[in-house]
Each structure stands twice: as C-alpha cells, then as structure tokens.
Chain A
Amino acid sequence: MVKPLVPHPFRALCATLMVSGAALLGTAQTAEAEELTVYSAMAKGHFAELMEAFQALEPDLQINQLIDSNGPIMARLLAEQENPRADIIFGASVPGLVMLEERGMLEQYAPAGLDQIKDRFRDNRSDPPHWVGTDAWASAICFNEAEGERLGVEAPTSWEDLLRPEYAGMITMPNPNSSATGLLAIVGWAEIFGEEGAWDYMDALHENVTQYVHSGSKPCRMAASGEAVIGISYPAPGVKAINDGVPLSVIIPAEGVGSEVEGVAIIAGARNPDAARRLADFATSFEAHQIHNSYYALVGREGVTNDVPNYPAGEEEALVDVDFYWVAENRDRILEEWQERYGRKDEPR
C-alpha cells in the first residue's frame, strides 16, 4: 500500500491556507469590468452627487474613489509617482495641480466643451490644457449666532475684526499643511495685506485661535456644532449647515477674500486613460455644472449661474486675484514658515 505523503488532516490545513491565500489573491485581482480610479479632495456631498450622475451614464464602469483633504491626496499622488494608482484627479486645488504638472505627472487633454470654460478656469500655459477648473470658492468666516449670543460677542464683519481680544480662544482655522482652504486663506491675506502684513496679521490672529485643524470644512462644522464660535473656512459647509437649521451665518469679510479654483486632471501613465477622459468630458459638461452650481456660486462654464439658497451675497465682487503659479512656487516656503511660527502651539487656550 502506498502511504500518501500528506495525510488528510494536514491536507485540510493546507487546503485552508491555500484557499484563504487564493481568496486574498482574488480580492487583489482586477475584475473583468472596466475600472476607473478617481482621487478627489472635493466636498463629499458634491463629489457623491457627481459620481452618481456619472455612474448613471456608465453603468458598467467600476469606479474606485478615494477622498481626503488636498494635502493627503497630494501626498498619496507623490508617494505613488513612480507607480501611479490613480487615473484621474477630480476636484483638487489648482496650485496642487500646477505642482503635479511641473513634475510631469499630468496628461494634456482637451475635454469636450472646453470652449465653454471661462479663461481663469483652465490651464492657460499649455494647449491642450493639463487641468480644467470646475468650480471656485472664496474664503469665508462661519459664525455661530447662538454661541455668540450666549457669550456676548457680535459677529465679525472683516478679517481685522477677528483680532479683537473678545474672540480669544473662539476661532479655529485649517492647518495649511493639510488643507488647501488653510493655504487659500493665507494667500488671500498675502494679496490683501502684502506678505509681510499677512504674517503680522497671522501673528495677532494666532492669539485668538484655539485649534488648527486637519480639513478645510472642519472649522465651519465646528462652528456649526458650537465646538468653536468662529471658523475660518469656505461657504459651502456653512450653507449646508444653515439649510439644516443651524443658527449659523457665513460672512464674506469686507477686505476681500482669496479664491480657489478646483479642477480635474488626468494622470500621466494612467492605467485606464479612456475612462479617465470620459470622466473629464463629464466634469466639464453642462449637466455636471448644474451639480457644481448647486454647491458653489462660481463655476467654470459660461452661463451657469443658478442661485444657491442661503449662499452669502457679494462673493464674486469680494474676490481678490490669486496667482496660482505664484502659490505653487511659494507653497513649500509659506508652509515651512507657517510651521515654524505656529506649529509649536502646544497648549490649547
């Protein structure tokens, strides 16, 4: 009789190991269906609505999505530079896209309907463009009316107001190292007060800030939940909170505000370039712009100007010009300086 080399109980164990190994490999293997991997730093609701509409157009496409703040999304793209995993970035701040472009990480592509896109919403240095903007927003201040009343403080109307001593410990701001909104606020101040003046302003503001937080919408949401009274943020999360019934107001400061364009760009060497181009076409389409416009007053396409309920008035008039290329070039320097000055805040006030 020939004795089997491996008797059955052991075979069972081997089988378990192999089956679980195969199951693991199975999850690793790409499915048969066409895939598209999208990275985004958009506001979640906005992005979800866009993806739902796109999926309706492309029912067979398997879409993998990764959403985080701008900093983490850029960190990931850079970490994966040698071996890109994303096919397309849909919703990242333009200075970040410019930085990627300068590292040769973006593909040039002219999406359908490019001629309908306003000039300041596209890459003007090259044709076809490396990136196309979809929407823009400005910095804004979110102020919790109920908390303000309880604590006996009035709503600020200008950036200068935020320095008033009565706001000590009431203000939150996004950390520019992770959040494009944080960087946007700083760039706006640099335009308004000059760079030196902006640092002086932030030195004074630092005295009133209680926390620097990870994401750009968090300060506004913290104001909305009363964890803070004032959040330096952008309008969209505040508008949503107001529509949900929170006693909040969104204020466009009198001195003016820096603005930020977010856009779409295809990764050079994308694994699924065709699907990526189709998504870029969709991003610039009229249909997608209706969605952009339900979150942001300023969008890329000409002639899409619906009113967003409770959106603060006068945003467009308050905009100050921001030079994306200057921001992309000076980003590292500004962040380092910021970290040096304010990153040391170790005791919350």
Chain B
Amino acid sequence: MVTTVSAIEPPQRKIRISTSGEDLLLRLCLIALAAFLVVALLLPIYTLLSKGVQDVDGNFVGLQNFIAYFNEPRVSVVFFNSLRISVVSTAITLLLAGTYAFALTHSRMPGRGFFRAVALVPLLTPSLLPGIALIYLFGNQGFFRDFMFGYSLYGPIGIVIGEVFFTFPIALMIVLTSLLTIDRRLYEVAKTLRAGRLRSFFTVTLPAMKFGLSAAFFATFTKVFTDFGVPIVVGGSYPVLATDLYQKVIGGFDFQMGAVVGILLFIPAAIAFLIGHLLQRGRGAGIDGSAVIYIPEKSRGRDLACFIFCTAIAVAILGILLMAVLGSMFRLWPYNLSLSLASYNFSEHDSSGWGAYRNSLKLAGGTALFGTALIFFGAYLLERMPGARLLRAMIGFIAMVPLAMPGMVLGLSYIFFFNDPANPLGGIYGTMMILILSTVVHLYTVPHLTALTALKQIDPGIEAAGASLKVSRFSTFGRVILPVCLPTILRIASYLFMNSMTTISALVFLYSANSKVATISVLLMNDNAMLGPAAAMSVLIVATSAGVVSLQWLLMRGLLGRTQAWRGSER
C-alpha cells in the first residue's frame, strides 16, 4: 500500500523547505564550510599528488618518480623497516593494553582509578619525549644500559619501546570501551551453564574484545607507521619512511622525491583507515538499554596478578616521564649530575629561546578557539540542518579524511600549495596562521565525531518545538543546543589545545623564522645533541598540557553540576 512507501521517507523531509532568510544563511554557512575544507585540505592534497608525477620543471612524467624511488636500492629497506617496526610495536602495544584494560575492568584490584589515569599520561607528551628519556635510561651512558645486554638503543629497539609508550593510551582507550560494554548477564548465563572461568573468558570476554582489539590495531598501526618523533630521536641509522621523508626534503632539497615518499606514507595509513571504517560499520548494536554493567567477583589471585602487572606498566610510564624531568635538571650529563635549572634557560641553547614556547601557546590557543568554533558549528550544520543532503554527505566524508592523513604529508602539501606565488592565499605562508590552519585540519576528525555524537543525542524534536514556537533556528541553537553541549565543547577545546601543544609532524615543514614552536625547538636542540634543554622544553610542554586538562576537568565538574542536571543522577 501507499503508506508503506511513505513510512520509509525520513520525517524531516516533510518539514517545509522554504527559502526564508534563515535557511539561506544556513545554506551559505554550509557552502562556506565546504569551501574551507576544499581549500585547506583537498586542494593541497591534489597539489601534492600532482607533484609526485612531475619532474623538477613541472612537466608531467607519470609514475617515473615512483619508479626512480623504487630503483634506489635502499627503498625496500626503508619501506619494510617501517612496516616491521609498525607490526612489532602494534603487537606489543595491543598485548599490554589489552591486558591492562582487562585488569581495569575485570578485577577488583585496588587503585583502578589511579592506574587508569596514569595510562593516559603519554597523551600529554610530544612524541619526541619518550626517545629523549630512553637515551637517559638505556643510551650508551644510560642508567640502565646494562639491561640492553650489549644491544644498542639506537635503532629498532629504541623505536619500538618509544612507540609502545606513545601509542599505549590510544590502544587502551579503544579496548577499554569495548570491554565496558560487555553485558554482565552474559557471564551469569555462562555460569548457569556451568562454564568454567577460562571458558567464559574465551566465549564471552574475548569475542567482546574482538572489535575493540581490531580497531585498536588499526589506530596503533597507523600512528606508528606515520610517526616521526620517536625514530628521529632514537632511530640512529635505522631509516624509516617518516625520517626518510624528512631527510629527502629538509636534507636534500628533493621535493619531488619527498612527494613520492609522502604518498607512500599515506597509502598504508589510508588502507588501515578504510578497514577500520568498514569494521565500525559492520559492528552490530554493542549494548542495548537493558544491559547490566559487569562487576567482577572477588578473586585474590587474579586481583594480585592484575595489580602487579598494572604496577609494572605504571612504573614504566611514570619512569619515562620522570626521567625526562630529571634529565632536564642535570648540570652536565653524564659527568656532573648535580641538579640545576640551567637547561631551562632556553636563550642559551636555542635561537628563539622562550619565544618558541610562547609561539606554542599562541598556536594551541588559536587552534582551540578557531578550531572549536568551526568544528562544532560545522558538525551542527551537518547533523541538524534540513535539506542539502548531498552536500552534507560529501562534507561528512571529507571531514573523515584528516584521520588517514599523516601530519608530515599534510605539511608537505601545504608548502606546495601555499608557497606557490600564484596562490592568492600565499600571504599566510610562513606565518602563525598557516600553522593554526594546518593543525585545525590535521586534528579535525576526532572532535568532529565527538561533536556529532553529542548532537545526535539531542532530541530532533527540539528544533520542531522551536519552529512551532516561532523561534528562529539560531535562537534554538544558542539557547538549547550550545548549553546542552557545553561539556562536549570544552572537551573539544581541550583536545585541540593539548594536541597542538604536542604535535610536530605537519609543523616540521611549515614553521618559519618567527613562528617556531616548542616541539620544533625540541627537535632542533636534539639534532644538536643538546639533550638537557630538549628534555626541558618537552617537560614544559607536558606541564602545559597537564594544566589544561586539569582545568578542563575542573570546569567540567562545575558545569556538569549546573547545566547537566537534566541528564539525571547517573552522571
């Protein structure tokens, strides 16, 4: 019958599509957002891809550059080095993070909250920090160099340890989420059916973790494959793609080959991203409304084992951080270990002195302010605007692209695009603005998804109610949507701030004489073997990120009490 057809039609199609000023304005905003993403993301990528198939003078040469690159005997070495490092680091990270997540959710060991917080510490650090700390710990003069049994830290060993530290919290968060959604009733059923503990682990726990583990696998793999900070510090003479790209462009002025390596760096990340995306789709409803959160029973042996394991991991994480703090205070490593703050006198060690730190604050502040406004309002347009379905779907897809885009590739494509004298936007090249722009684009996806999730939770009836009260859509946005989403907005701002403080990959190609940021300063000081000052600047970055996160936490607590009372008591 006719009614079955109309039932499929989404309800919002029935809402009038008038050409009122309000709708027109919304549509203009949407077009502006699309234009922004095209200019700041798609066009630079296009320029990079076309550079990869051009010679020095800009003639089209097809795949010649790729053939030339693959004919270099060292190329397969570099590519497989990257692959090997990524697989090994990912496997170790998953094993450790999986066990850690299990201990946090399936045991009653003491200090679970503490362990959970400690595990997130690496998120506050620039990826250069673990390498620097590892040199103090296991370098040729390191405190624990005997534990290396004659092996050198510089090379695969150092890279893997650094990457495991760096990616641990990312993997942990994903696995933890999947473990928390296990329905307690499944265990009860297993028990009733007389399944032993081991059996219920293999039939309930592991299948529930499957999705989380595979999602964590792809996230970790991509991160390690494209990371630059760890191998540049402890990679020694073990080349990987990211350091090779740096060497090609920064050392050898070879932009064509740089473009080729950039594209190579992009491919596995893109594949991992697509698979991850498909996995996400294929996943059924994880938890229904009546699910009961699992509360583990007491078990002395298990709790003790979990406690020992988590303590070991927490000691390792805090040890690396504390080593960096201590390292920044040695007067003359390794010959005079008395403590001083000389390393923090940055003007002695680096041309920009404290200016680099101030620039980082500007970058992080600018990114948080501009990025939060843009990303949240963009997500609002995509999620809650009627009509323009095709445009919205396209923007929604483009907004996912940055997740698969290694920062170095983005940075390189920005040089090609914005330093072209024919580009009317060329004026931003070499300024703080291009750093902010690249960082907003680089970090776009995660806050975008966070905002979408929050907006989805708001009843679509709100706008209808507003319309029937003859209040404009903007008024509804300002009076209802914004206050309800305030915690999300705060979370987005703090995410953007923290990640702009610690990022380096895209900036390595984009900073200029007056926009050098703290992470670049760390990199340059490390390039000059000024380990103490490099550690000092890293510590400063961590302290700042930690400060911002604590501030966000305090604000959230205050705000949740005042604006989120409607959510009920479970919060």
Contacts and interface: CB of A to CB of B under 8 A. Distances in A.
A347 B238 CA distance: 6
A134 interface: no
Nearest to A74: B253
Contacts of A28: 427-428, 431-433
A16 interface: yes
Contacts of A212: 237
B139 A227 contact: yes
Interface in A306-349: 335, 339-340, 343-349
Interface string A1-44: 00101111110110011001101110110000000011110001
Interface stretch (A79-87, A124-132, A287-295): A79-87
A218 interface: yes
Contact of B362 (A27, A45, A80, A335): A27
A210 B250 contact: no
A62 B255 CA distance: 31
A64 interface: yes
A346 B482 contact: no
B152 A344 contact: no
Interface in B427-443: 427-433, 436
A175 B39 CA distance: 37
A101 B433 CA distance: 32
Interface stretch (B112-120, B223-231, B471-479, B496-504): B471-479
Given A75-B249, A211-B236, A227-B140, A218 B527 contact: yes
Interface in B187-224: none
Given A6-B25, A211-B236, A67 B373 contact: no
B332 A38 contact: no
B365 to A, nearest CB: 9
Interface residues of A, number: 77
Nearest to B362: A27
Contacts of B333: 225
Contact of B528 (A13, A211, A217, A344): A217
B81 interface: yes
B251 A222 contact: no
Interface in B410-451: 415, 419-421, 426-433, 436
A244 interface: yes
B482 A226 contact: no
Contacts of B374: 17
Nearest to A179: B251
B334 interface: yes
A208 interface: no
A27 B350 contact: no
A226 B191 CA distance: 60
A82 B421 contact: yes
Nearest to B508: A72
B251 A13 contact: no
B384 interface: no
A339 B78 CA distance: 13
Given A8-B478, A24-B433, A80-B419, A17 B247 contact: no
B255 A227 contact: no
Contacts of A68: 250, 524
Q: Which of A23, A37, A51, A217 lies at the interface centre, i.e. has the most chain B CB atoms within 10 A of its CB? A: A23
A212 to B, nearest CB: 6
B351 A67 contact: yes
Interface in A90-136: none
A65 B431 contact: no
Given A5-B21, A9-B478, A221-B528, A348 B366 contact: no
Interface string B513-529: 11010000000100111
A39 B511 CA distance: 13
A178 B251 contact: yes
Interface string B356-370: 000000100010011
Contact of B475 (A7, A79, A83, A224): A7
A230 B125 CA distance: 32
Q: Which of A23, A25, A146, A225 lies at the interface centre, i.e. has the most chain B CB atoms within 10 A of its CB? A: A225
Given A66-B516, A79-B255, A178 B351 contact: no
A25 B350 contact: no
B458 to A, nearest CB: 16
Contacts of B427: 28
Contact of A347 (B139, B155, B332): B155
B154 A211 contact: yes
A225 B141 contact: yes
Contacts of A24: 366, 370, 432-433, 436
A38 B514 CA distance: 10
A36 to B, nearest CB: 10
A24 B366 CA distance: 7
Contacts of B421: 82-83
Contacts of A16: 369, 373
Contacts of A79: 253, 255, 415, 419
B347 interface: yes
A88 to B, nearest CB: 11
A30 B415 CA distance: 20
Contacts of B250: 68, 71-72, 75, 178
Contacts of B426: 83
A74 B255 CA distance: 13
Contacts of B247: 175, 177-178
Contacts of B351: 40, 44, 47-48, 51, 65-67
Contact of B433 (A27, A45, A245, A340): A27
A80 to B, nearest CB: 6
B25 A5 contact: yes
A246 interface: yes
B73 A344 contact: yes
A215 interface: yes
B369 A20 contact: yes
Contacts of A3: 472
B242 to A, nearest CB: 14
B177 interface: no
Nearest to A247: B335
Given A27-B432, A28-B432, A222 B253 contact: no
Contacts of B482: 9, 13
A309 B352 CA distance: 27
B172 interface: no
A150 B474 CA distance: 74
A344 B374 CA distance: 45
A71 B252 CA distance: 7
A44 B350 contact: yes
Nearest to B377: A13
Contacts of A85: 429-430, 512-513
A37 B515 CA distance: 12
Nearest to A83: B421
B141 A226 contact: yes
Contact of B479 (A9, A17, A83, A246): A9
Contacts of B350: 44, 67
Contacts of A45: 348
Interface in B49-85: 73-74, 77-78, 81
Q: Top 3 A-B pairs ranked by shortest CB distance?
A: A9-B478, A221-B529, A10-B474
11 contacts: A10-B474, A40-B351, A78-B253, A82-B420, A177-B247, A210-B237, A211-B236, A212-B237, A213-B527, A227-B529, A247-B335
Given A7-B472, A177-B252, 13 more contacts: A3-B472, A7-B478, A13-B373, A17-B377, A24-B370, A39-B513, A40-B351, A72-B251, A82-B421, A221-B530, A246-B332, A343-B74, A348-B236
Interface of B: 21-22, 25, 73-74, 77-78, 81, 135, 139-141, 152, 154-155, 236-239, 247, 249-253, 255, 332-336, 347-352, 362, 366, 369-370, 373-374, 377, 415, 419-421, 426-433, 436, 472, 474-475, 477-479, 482, 512-514, 516, 524, 527-531
